[in-house]
């Protein structure tokens, strides 16, 4: 009898490698990542990467590491050939970046591949040429100690995958980000990235990671360090605030290994969004250290994702740490100093960042609530001892009072008729803050946060049942979101529809946007969809909490994206309209995340500071 089911066969190696390539090699950036990790594992002090055409045509990685002799070089191309791990026991404590012995054969299976390596320059090196997984030849060749691997025409023999490669600029961006991860993890190694004739990264070995960040991002003026020690878990990080435009670029290191993890991304994006519009284009590096047994790096073939034993605790500590970085960066602004000063009533004026950065907004809010802050219209910051930055203190001390005290009206003096719910509108300061006066003093309103509050309440109402206006797009927009996020779309489709965003699956890693709310730019809508998908994927496994959290996320994300930014001129009529809308919100004094919207400066305080009292 002939069995209709084919007999089980051992797959030929070449086929296994091609299948594995699908997991390890997604795009040129994955090749860069794997090769650079090998170079670092080989103890390189210098790693040079060169790409042509975003890596679509060529990726070359050269290092000065330990190199390989002829036998090793051939062995390295065998599947599961690795010099880095010998037993299952060792798998628990992996000190090297690679350990699966999959990368080289997988990459060689889907490209034209040349390996040139020497363990000892005196003995000479070896050149191995592979095409689509077939070893074409191995010969002696001269090379100083180290390894160069060159890959041309990635996926030339897998057209279905080649089709998924993006425009060279996009591939280049991914590759560059992959290299940032490695370069930030290892500031002690020199990294160079060339694209055609351009040198995109030139980062000499340094001792200080924030120096490295500045070398990687030449525009980084200010780099803020933050750290939280949570006992067994520890987070250190760097924040380079961006100009407010573009998406933030995030790098995560877990026990020294660069990873891409949705949970971590979600935690950081959440904090940046809470912080308002100013953090677009920022770069954030989060360096998380925790006991090896609390993290599994072995779940993802490219080791890009990790699994945490205590995901909730990781989320919380990362959130807390980044929040510190954010409030430290905002602490340089006089306004927030005034805000925080009162908390330390009786304490000396805040002069540094550290004193009030601890705990971030959540902490501020908690302390305020404990202090029994008075409700609306008597803002807690009002009438209390404020703090001044050291510059202002210096001026106060050295400038003689220009007028004798008593020339100015004391508090309680007449003010013009109030034309807004918050007092008389004076105007817009630096296209960013609305200035008003009331009978007690000066009122300053942050226009972005105010608008965010207005929109947030509106969106929550929409989610509760109001019909959402929506605008169909002439050409639907395709958004590449990655497979994991795309898979989460069905769980948020209905929710998005309720706020006027129509999105559907359009391929394994792509989402198609066909309508957006009229007040939102398409790019902003894209970001909103991405953020909600991030949240949805991070919430995987806790569906009972998901619905509420997702709505919250969506409302926060949408309102932040749609709100007018700072540096945006508003006509007096628009300013009044905004204030009218603001007073009607649930809490005009705080954004949904507790950030203050309004700052008051009493006349009393002004006078005291100017030496009139």
The strand pairing partners of 146, in sequence order, are: 118
Q: What is the rounded CA–CA span in Å between residue 35 and residue 119?
A: 17
**How far from the centroid of its chain's Cα atoms is residue 369's Cα?**
30
Most distant CA pair in the chain: distance in Å? 114
DSSP 278: G
E-state strands within 399-532: 424-429, 433-438, 441-446, 471-480, 502-505, 510-516
Q: How far apart are CA 108 and CA 134, in angstroms?
A: 8
Q: Identify which range of 93-101, 232-240, 479-487, 543-551 contacts ligand ADP by CB under 6 A.
A: 93-101
Query: What is the spatial distance between Cα 508 and Cα 529, in angstroms, rounded to a whole number?
Result: 16
Asked if 98 interacts with ligand ADP (CB under 6 A), we say yes
User: Applying CB under 5 A, which part among 96-104, 176-184, 338-346, 602-610 lies near Mg ion?
Assistant: 96-104
- The answer to whether residues 33 and 41 touch, using CB atoms and an 8 Å cutoff, is no
Binder among 47, 94, 103, 201 for Mg ion (CB under 5 A): 103
Q: Does 125 bind ligand ADP (CB under 6 A)?
A: no
Binder of residue 108, out of ligand ADP, Mg ion, none (CB less than 5 to 8 A by kind):
none
Query: Should residue 70 be labelled a site residue for ligand ADP when binding is judged by CB under 6 A?
Result: no
Q: Which residue is nearest to ligand ADP (CB)?
A: 98
Using CB atoms within 10 Å of the CB of residue 108, give its burial: 0 to 12 exposed, 13 to 18 middle, 19+ buried.
Answer: buried
28 scored as a contact of ligand ADP (CB under 6 A): no
Phi, psi of 187 (to 5 degrees): -60, -15
Q: Residue count of the chain, please give it.
A: 613
* Closest distance to ligand ADP from the beta carbon of 313 (Å): 30
Return the HEC string of 167-226: CHHHHHHHHHHHHHHHHHHCCCCEEEEEECCEEEEEECCCCCHHHHHHHHCCCCCCCEEE
65 contributes a contact to ligand ADP by CB under 6 A: yes
When CB distances are held under 5 to 8 angstroms depending on the partner's kind, the choice from Mg ion, ligand ADP, none that residue 99 binds is ligand ADP
- Give, for 285, the enclosing helix (H) or strand (E): strand 283-289
- What would the x/- binding string for Mg ion be over residues 30 to 69, using CB under 5 A? --------x-------------------------------
Query: Phi and psi (nearest 5°) for 176?
Result: -65, -40
# binding residues, Mg ion (CB under 5 A):
3
Least Å from the CB of residue 299 to Mg ion? 17
Residue 82 engages ligand ADP in binding (rule: CB under 6 A): yes
147 binds ligand ADP (CB under 6 A): yes
Nearest approach in angstroms of CB 499 to ligand ADP is 45
Distance CA 613, CA 593 (A): 37
For ligand ADP, which residue of 14, 53, 69, 84 counts as binding (CB under 6 A)?
A: 84
**441 contacts ligand ADP (rule: CB under 6 A):** no
Residue placing its CB nearer to ligand ADP in the complex, 46 or 152: 46
Q: Which of 221, 187, 184 shows the shortest CA–CA distance to 204?
A: 187
Which one of Mg ion, ligand ADP, none interacts with residue 66, CB within 5 to 8 A by kind?
ligand ADP
Query: Closest approach of Cβ 529 to ligand ADP, in Å?
Result: 35
Each residue 561-580 as x (binds Mg ion by CB under 5 A) or -, in order, gives: --------------------
Stretch that binds ligand ADP, among 82-90, 181-189, 474-482, 524-532 (CB under 6 A): 82-90
Work out which of 18, 60, 100, 460 binds ligand ADP, going by CB under 6 A: 100
422: nearest Cα among 442, 392, 394 = 442
Measured distance CA(126)–CA(147) in Å, rounded: 10
Q: Does 513 bind ligand ADP (CB under 6 A)?
A: no
In the complex, the residues that contact ligand ADP under the rule CB under 6 A are 34, 38-39, 42, 63, 65-68, 76, 81-84, 98-104, 147
In the complex, the residues that contact Mg ion under the rule CB under 5 A are 38, 98, 103
């Amino acid at each position: 009898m002939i069995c209709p089911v084919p007999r089980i066969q051992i797959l030929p190696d070449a086929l296994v490698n091609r299948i594995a390539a699908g997991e390890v090699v997604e795009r040129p950036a994955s090749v860069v990542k794997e090769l650079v990790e090998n170079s670092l594992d080989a103890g390189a002090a210098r790693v040079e990467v060169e790409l042509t055409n975003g890596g679509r045509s060529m990726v070359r990685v050269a290092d000065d590491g330990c190199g390989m002799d002829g036998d090793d070089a051939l062995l390295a191309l065998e599947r599961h050939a690795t010099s880095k791990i010998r037993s299952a026991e060792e798998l628990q404590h992996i000190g090297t970046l690679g350990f699966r012995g999959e990368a080289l054969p997988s990459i060689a299976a889907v490209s034209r591949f040349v390996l040139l390596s020497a363990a000892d320059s005196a003995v000479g090196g070896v050149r191995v040429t592979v095409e689509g997984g077939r070893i074409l030849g191995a010969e002696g060749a001269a090379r100083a100690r180290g390894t160069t691997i060159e890959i041309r025409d990635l996926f030339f023999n897998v057209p279905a995958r080649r089709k998924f490669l993006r425009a060279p600029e996009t591939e280049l961006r991914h590759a560059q980000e992959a290299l940032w991860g490695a370069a930030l993890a290892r500031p002690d190694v020199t990294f160079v990235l060339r694209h055609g004739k351009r040198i995109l990264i030139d980062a000499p070995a340094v001792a200080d990671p924030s120096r490295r960040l500045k070398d990687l991002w030449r525009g980084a003026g200010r780099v803020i360090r933050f750290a939280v020690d949570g006992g067994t878990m520890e987070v250190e990080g760097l924040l380079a605030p961006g100009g407010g435009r573009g998406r933030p670029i995030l790098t995560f290191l877990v026990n020294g290994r660069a990873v891409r993890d949705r949970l971590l991304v979600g935690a950081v994006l959440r904090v940046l969004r809470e912080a308002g519009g100013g953090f677009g284009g920022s770069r954030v590096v989060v360096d998380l250290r925790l006991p090896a047994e609390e993290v599994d790096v072995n779940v993802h073939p490219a080791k890009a994702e990790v699994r945490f034993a205590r995901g909730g605790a990781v989320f919380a500590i990362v959130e807390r740490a980044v929040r510190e970085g954010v409030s430290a960066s905002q602490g340089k602004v006089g306004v927030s100093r005034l805000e925080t000063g009162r908390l330390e009533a009786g304490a000396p004026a805040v002069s540094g960042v550290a004193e009030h950065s601890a705990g971030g907004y959540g902490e501020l809010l908690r302390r305020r609530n404990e202090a029994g802050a008075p409700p609306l219209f008597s803002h807690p910051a009002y009438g209390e001892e404020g703090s001044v930055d050291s510059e202002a203190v210096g001026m106060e001390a050295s400038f003689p009072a220009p007028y004798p005290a008593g020339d100015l009206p004391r508090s309680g003096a007449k003010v013009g008729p109030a034309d807004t719910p918050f007092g008389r509108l004076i105007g817009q300061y630096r296209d960013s803050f609305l200035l008003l006066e009331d009978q007690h003093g000066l009122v300053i309103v942050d226009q972005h946060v105010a608008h965010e509050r207005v929109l947030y309440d509106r969106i929550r109402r929409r989610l509760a049942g109001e019909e959402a206006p929506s605008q169909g797009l002439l050409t639907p927009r395709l958004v590449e979101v990655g497979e994991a996020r795309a898979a989460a779309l069905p769980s948020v489709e209905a929710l998005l529809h309720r706020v006027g965003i129509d999105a559907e699956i359009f391929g394994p890693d792509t989402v198609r946007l066909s309508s957006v709310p009229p007040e939102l730019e398409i790019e902003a809508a894209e970001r909103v969809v991405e953020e909600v998908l991030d949240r949805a994927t991070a919430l995987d496994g806790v569906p009972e909490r998901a619905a509420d959290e997702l709505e919250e996320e969506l409302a926060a994300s949408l309102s932040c994206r749609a709100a007018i930014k700072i540096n945006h001129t508003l006509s007096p009529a628009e300013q009044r309209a905004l204030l009218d809308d603001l007073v009607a919100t649930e809490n005009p004094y705080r954004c949904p995340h507790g950030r203050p919207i309004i700052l008051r400066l009493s006349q009393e305080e002004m006078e005291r500071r100017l030496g009139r009292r």
